[in-house]
Amino acid sequence: MKCHRVEDENLVERYVSGTLDADLKERFEQHYFACEECAEQVETWHAIAGPLREMAPEIRRDMAPERALRMPSTRGRGAWMGGAMAIAAGIAVLIGVSLLPRQKSRTPASAPAAAKRDDRLTELARLDPPAYVAPDLRGAETTAETLFREAMEAYLRHDYARAILGLKSSLALDPEAAGPRFFLGASELLTGQNADGTRDLERVAASHSPFAEEARFDLAKGYLMAGRREEALAALRLLEAQGGEFSAQARRLADRLNGTP
């Protein structure tokens, strides 16, 4: 893969937004792990993705048709202008980043090799939120199941802090439930609570639940986040040897990790 294809097909933006198919995602990762300029663009997009997601509700609210059809009152003008400024700022960021492929890398030639290596490891450790599909429950829910369902509604909105509270409440009533424990561990990793996240995922990974295999893969990411490289590699190689659904992903991640000095 060449850099001109990355630019022509907007691969950086599509990669960060999670819209690349698996084959193209793998080929792009192989390219940008070895390309300093494309790696810098990925890091820039990841840096702005969180703030833009936080701005999204306000932007959607201020762009709603029913509000666009009426002029703001004097009293509401300050809030309206604040929303307009947020929209303008979001657009400006997107325009600025979209121009990055046409610019030369701004990384100083003398940047320490250790910093570049840390950037690669940070990217390898990045955890994509595990997918969740609400089960088709039959009959009445238990209180623990209701709390789990409500917590996962927050999880699907990427409100991980609220999800954590709900998942802990559900587990207080049913401590052995694997689903709430798995998504609690993932949510903790996604919010930077590495010690809690790895502890909860270790508990699920050691079980025989349907979530065990995915927990082992995400646990390897948690180890990487904490700089525990050898433990991450060991977990990935074990997962690869088991030959399950996450075996191929584990092998690819382990190979890339081995290729990072």
pLDDT tens, residue order, the chain (261 aa): 788 787 878 888 787 777 878 778 777 777 766 677 777 777 777 666 555 555 556 555 655 554 444 444 444 444 444 554 554 455 454 445 444 444 444 444 444 555 555 677 788 889 999 999 888 767 788 999 999 999 999 999 999 999 999 999 999 999 999 999 999 999 999 999 999 999 999 999 999 999 999 999 999 999 999 999 999 999 999 999 988 899 999 999 999 888 765
pLDDT at 5: 85
Among candidate residues 78, 59, 22, 18, the one with its CA nearest the CA of residue 42: 18
pLDDT at 15: 79
Task: For residues 235 and 222, give the distance between their C-alpha atoms in angstroms, rounded to a whole number.
Answer: 11
pLDDT at 57: 60
Number of other CB atoms surrounding residue 28 within 10 Å: 22
Domains within the chain, CATH numbers bracketed: 3-108 (no CATH), 143-258 (1.25.40.10)
Among candidate residues 129, 127, 121, 128, the one with its CA nearest the CA of residue 33: 121
pTM for this entry = 0.57
Among candidate residues 254, 196, 248, the one with its CA nearest the CA of residue 220: 254
pLDDT at 222: 95
pLDDT at 48: 64
